[in-house]
Structure 1
C-alpha cells in the first residue's frame, strides 16, 4: 500500500516546549518536516533529540502544538493516530512485558489499529506481518519468544512491528542500536524503500554517517533546533561540525557524505 502524496508538512511542531520533571528539555521549537522524505535528528547527548521525537509521536505532554498532515495530533482519535503514525522506541524500552510473546505475535501487534475489537487477524494483517518480518530478516525466528532473542534480533522484530502498521509516518529512536553493520545497511535500504513508497521517516541517530545518508537533517543542542536543512547542503555540514565543537569534519568520499573525527 502506497501512501497518498501530500503537500502539507508531514509533521509540524509549533512553539513546542517540554519539561521532564523540573528540567526544561525543549525550548520553543518550530519545525516542519516534509512528507515523503527521511529526516535524521542529531546532536550531542542531552540535546533533547529523543524528547522531541516522543513529543512528535504524542507520547509526552508539552506546550505548543503538534500537527500531523495539518491536523492537530491531540485532536485525532487514538486509533486514527495509531494507523497514520508508527513508533519504534529506543532499545525496545518498555517491551519487557512482551518477552513471552512469539516474535510473530509481537509483529502482529502493529496491526491492532487496523483490527476490530477482539477480531482475529485478517489475511491482509498476516500478509503485512510476513512482509515486515521478511524485510527485517526476522521471519526465520517468528516462532521464538522475544525474550529468547539477542539484542539485535529483538531490535529487528520490534522494527518489523513498526513496519507492519504501514503508517504514513514512522518515528524511530536509535533504530540502529544493537544492529551489526550488515543489518544497519539493511535498515537504511528499508528506509529508502519506504521513502520510494511516499512514506515519511524521522529517526534520531547517534551514527552520524548514517544520519548524513538521510534527505534532511535536524541539528539540535540544549533543547533547541539550531539547523534544519538538506543533508547534502554545506550549511548543514557546518552546523553539524559546530554542534560537536568541530571535533568532526564532513567530507564527501566516493559520492557519500561522511563525518570524520578530527
Structure 2
C-alpha cells in the first residue's frame, strides 16, 4: 500500500514538473487573434483546459493564467517630429508637412501608434530664387494663432522685426465646411462662428515691411465694407467679415484669435 501511494505521488510530481515546464505562455506570445497560439493549462477564469496566448485572448477572456506576466503589453514608441517641410507651392497658400517614425510597434495589446504625419496650412513670402512674392489684393488668408509661435522674431542679421498689430473684425458669414473640419490641422476652423468678434494679428513675415500691412487687413476699406477671408488649410472654409478697429494687441479669447498669413 505504501509503495502504491509513493508511485502515485511520484506521478503527480512528474506531472507537475511537466505542467510548469510546458504549460502557460512562456515563449508563446502571439500577435492578433491566433487560434493556433494555445496550450493546455489553467485559464484566468480558473478553468483548466485549452487556453490562449495571443493578443485577442484578453477580449475573449480565455488567456492562460500567466499571459499578462509572460506577454506584457508594450506601447508603441515613436521618434520626435521632423522639421516642417517648405510650402508645397510658391507665393500662395498651400500645405506643409512633418513626419515621425515608429521606433517600436505595439505588442500584446499595447497602445497603438499615434499619427505619424502632421499637415498645416502655410504660405511662402519669397520664391525659390529668394525674390519677394507679389502682393495680391485678394481675400485675407488666416490660420490658427498657434501658427504664430513658430514665426521668426528677428531678421537674418539678428535685428528685431516689427511687432505688428491686431485687427478686430465682426464675422458676418462662413461656409458650412468650417464646422465640419476634423483633421488635426483644421480643428481651429470649428470656432469660426457668425456674429462673434475675432482678432487677427498682422505680424512679419505676413506684414509687408515696405507697407507695414497684411493682405486683406481692410485698412483701405470703409468701416461698413464687407470683406472676404479664407482659412489656410481648407479652401472650402471661407466667409466674410467687417472691420471694427485696429490696435497694438489682440484681446480676443484664444479660440477667436487668428493670424494673417
**TM tier, smaller:** under 0.3
Larger radius of gyration: 2
Q: Which has the higher contact order (CA 8 A, sep 6+)?
A: 1
TM-score, with normalisation over the residues of structure 2? 0.20
- Give TM-score, length-normalised by structure 1: 0.20
